[in-house]
Each structure stands twice: as C-alpha cells, then as structure tokens.
C-alpha cells in the first residue's frame, strides 16, 4: 500500500488505514486519520484526514515521526439516535436514496460511499429533531446516475405511501449529479400534493468539515414546517458560505457546477423561498399550491424509457436519428443552438438535419427542440431556418430546460400514444416547467 520505507514504518508502528495518528514533520504536527493509498498516488506520500475534515498528503522521510493515538472505531460504526415523539411538533419522513448526502469516507477506497443506516444518519444531525419529529427510511442505496424508470417509480410510490399516513412533509435525500432530473420527473409523477416533497442533496460528504448536508437538511425541515407550500421542490445552498439555502422549483433548475455548494440555480424562474441558517424562512414565490391534508395526491409512475437527448454542434450528422429510430426509441430531445437551431446546410443537403427529422416524425418519433443556452426560450419564428424546422413536425419546447423536457417526454409518452395528445401535453404546463413570464432578474 505504501513505499517500502513507509510500509516498513507503518508495520513497525502497527498503524493501518483508519487509525488516529499524530505526524510530526519539520517542527509541524498534524493530527488526523490515516487514509488508504490509491494506486495513482505517490508511493512516498502519507495521506491523513485532519480533524477539520480535510485531507493532507505528507511526504514521508526518515525524519518523519508518526505516533499512533488509537483506532477510529466510529468509522466502522456510527452511533444511533433514540427518537422521542412530540405530538406538538410536525412529523417529517426522510427517504434516503443514496448519494453524497448519505455518505462518509470509505477507508477501504479513500472515496465516499453510502455506508450507514438511516438511524445513524439522523444521529449525525440531531438538530433536526428540535424542529420536527423525524422519521427515516432507506428506500435504495445507489449513485444518482443509476436512477432508472423503475427507481423513479419506486421513489414516487414510497413518497405516496408516507403522504397517506398524514405526515407533514417528505424529504428525499438524493445524489446531486442527477438531482435535477429526478426533481423534474417527480414533479410530473406527483401532482396535486397535499404537503411538500423536498429533494435535498450535498456536494460534500457528511464527515467533511465543509459539508453542506446539515444546513441543506435543516433548511428543508424549516421550510416544510414554517410555510404553507405544497408540491415538489429542491433545497440547496444559496452561496458558498453557510448563510442560507434556496428552495428551488423542481422542474426549473440545473446543476451548474461540479463541486461548489451553491451549484444549483433556477433557470428561467425565481426561487420559491430563502431559508436562513437561523431558521427564518422568506417566501419569494407568490402563486403556488398550498397545503391541504384533505387533498388526494395524483400519482402516476408510467414513463417511457426509450427517449434520448441529442446535442447539436456544427459537424453533427443526422444519421444518429436513424440509429435511434431503428433502436425503438419513441422520443428525442434535440438540444439545439440559440433559439433551437439545427444544421440545415443548403449547400449540401446531405448534411441537413431537416430530412432526417421529418422522416423520424413521420415514422412516429416525437422530436422536441430545446436550447443549449440554458436560459431563454426556443423561438420558431425568428429565422427562416427555424420555420423550416417547424415544418418537419417538431415540437419547440418553449423555455423548458433540456432535463425538464426529457423527463416530461418520458412521462408524456408513458401515458399517451396519439401524436396530437402527445403534442398537446408537451406544450401544456404540467408542473411549472414552462414559464408564463420570464424576467431579466431571473438571468444570473
């Protein structure tokens, strides 16, 4: 695992990955937990996780001194939390699906992985129980990129089950990489909700000093308990600091950064609410579905998985549509440039996408146009090429994000067979995915 001198010293000191150590090097002292070496790491580097949650690599030499302080047993087993029910407090269910928010460092691999029970998870955030009665259940344990049609339906059904118990709200812990896909999908599957369903993720694992998990969760709990909002939403950091979180519309957001804690942004929309770290909630939205426990949720988990996303670029060849058509795909989202352009190549008709799109539509495929600019809307009237594209039978997706249009098309095709009904549904505002009005302040 380590270089020969380092390995020899580790063996002599009986130090292993997961042990607490004090490392002294050149008059500096570091206290932390030994991390395992990865195959790509410098063989002479000793990796330790500091007490503040960050990792540091120390170049080992003969003058380096390592003192074993003990074995970090909490890495293998987290404490559990005993819950007491308070009838005066609202009750919230947290459904765990996996992802970084339910992760800690895996000392076998050096990475993060979901590795503890829901009871252990709540024990890490005892402050939540001061706001509400917290119930918790693990319904799956996967990375968010592994979501599929069966798992989307499972999450929706599990949420429905808890809503019928009369709970005050549902929180869904979810990996951030595809959180915006799941949020949009659930906003179509879970309609007419009597209480809020809030998806929460984390960009940093819960055992890191910079983790955003605690604030995101607390903000979601405060939002559920202190507002009259009902519907699907997402709660994540508003900025890099721990000042506040934003509650964002489920079908109008996107992950805009790989690692920042404030990675999620509303697209062509405003936030629903701001939740300060103090617990104060400021409602921003004015028109929204309000809580009513007597209301019966409409749950529909039928979706069509044979839908693809194709991104436009100058040298893109239209033959890809024929591939999808022959592979049995029923729908395609074309993420066009600008207002929704695709190559038309009047000088070389073979490079034009128009004939291929027209043939695909004629063969029964639904083709929806979105824009890769993220903000703004498609527009079929601005340029001649756009009017030619409209004539092929495509559906312009207004200001839907590509993710919202994709999940919507999966949902619509799962419940409709007739082309006209499919078109009508795609152009209807089902869950706030199409804006009635767009404002300049919504562009960051």
Task: Give the residue numbers annotated as catalytic, written as ranges.
Answer: 100, 176-177, 255
Please check whether residue 226 is in contact with residue 70, taking contact to mean a CB–CB distance below 8 angstroms. Answer: no
Query: What is the helix (H) or strand (E) element at residue 69, kind and residue range?
Result: strand 65-71
| Secondary structure in 3-state letters for 390-412 | HCCCCEECCCCCHHHHHHHHHHH
Residues contacting 280, CB < 8 A, separation 6+: none
d(CA 370, CA 351): 20
Bridge partners (DSSP) of residue 299 are 190
Compute the Cα dihedral for 270, 275, 277, 278 and give only its sign. positive
CB contact at 8 A, 338 and 369: no
Q: What are phi and psi of 39, to 5 degrees?
A: -65, -25
CA distance 248 to 403: 15
Instruction: Provide φ and ψ at 276, rounded to 5°.
Output: -80, 160
**Strand partners of residue 31:** 22
**Which runs of E-coded beta strand occur in 331-434?**
331-336, 366-371, 395-396
Element (H, E) at 388: helix 384-390
Q: Is 396:379 a contact under the CB 8 Å cutoff? A: yes
Please say whether the beta carbons of 405 and 181 come within 8 A. Answer: no
Would you say the C-alpha torsion 134, 139, 143, 144 has a positive or negative sign? Answer: negative
């Amino acid at each position: 695992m380590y270089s020969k001198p380092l390995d020899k010293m580790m063996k002599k000191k009986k130090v292993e990955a997961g042990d607490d150590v004090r490392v002294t090097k050149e008059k500096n002292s570091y206290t932390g937990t030994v991390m395992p070496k990865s195959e790509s790491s410098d063989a002479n580097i000793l990796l330790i996780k500091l007490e503040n949650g960050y990792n540091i690599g120390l170049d080992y030499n003969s003058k380096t001194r390592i003192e074993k302080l003990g074995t970090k047993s909490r890495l293998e087993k987290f404490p559990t939390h005993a819950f007491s029910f308070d009838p005066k407090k609202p009750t919230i269910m947290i459904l765990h699906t996996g992802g970084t928010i339910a992760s800690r460092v895996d000392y076998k691999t050096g990475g993060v992985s979901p590795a503890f029970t829901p009871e252990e998870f709540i024990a890490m955030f005892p402050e939540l129980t001061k706001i509400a009665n917290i119930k918790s259940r693990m319904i799956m344990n996967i990375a968010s990129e592994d979501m599929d049609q069966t798992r989307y339906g499972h999450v929706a059904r599990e949420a429905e089950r808890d809503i019928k118990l009369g709970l005050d709200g549902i929180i869904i812990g979810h990996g951030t990489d595809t959180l915006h896909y799941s949020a949009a999908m659930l906003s179509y599957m879970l309609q007419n909700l009597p209480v809020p369903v809030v998806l929460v993720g984390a960009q940093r694992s819960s055992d890191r000093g910079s983790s955003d998990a605690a604030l995101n969760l607390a903000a979601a709990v405060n939002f559920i308990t202190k507002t009259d909002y009902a519907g699907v939403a997402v709660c994540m950091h508003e900025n890099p600091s721990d000042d506040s979180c934003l509650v964002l519309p489920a079908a109008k957001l996107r992950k805009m950064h790989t690692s920042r804690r404030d990675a999620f942004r509303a697209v062509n929309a405003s936030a629903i609410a701001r939740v300060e770290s103090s617990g104060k909630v400021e409602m921003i939205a004015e028109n929204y579905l309000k809580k009513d426990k007597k209301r019966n949720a409409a749950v529909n988990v039928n979706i069509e998985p044979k839908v693809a996303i194709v991104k436009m670029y100058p040298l893109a060849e239209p033959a890809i549509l024929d591939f999808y058509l022959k592979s049995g795909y029923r729908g395609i989202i074309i993420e066009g440039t600008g207002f929704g352009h695709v190559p038309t190549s009047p000088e070389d008709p073979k490079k034009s996408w128009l004939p291929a799109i027209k043939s695909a539509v004629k063969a029964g495929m639904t083709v929806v146009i979105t824009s890769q600019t993220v903000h703004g809307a498609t527009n079929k009237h601005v340029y001649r090429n756009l009017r030619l594209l409209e004539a092929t039978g495509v559906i312009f997706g207004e200001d839907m994000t590509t993710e919202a249009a994709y999940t919507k098309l999966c949902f619509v095709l799962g419940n409709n067979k007739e082309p006209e009904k499919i078109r009508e549904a795609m152009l209807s505002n089902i869950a706030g995915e199409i804006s009635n009005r767009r404002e300049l302040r919504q562009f960051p």
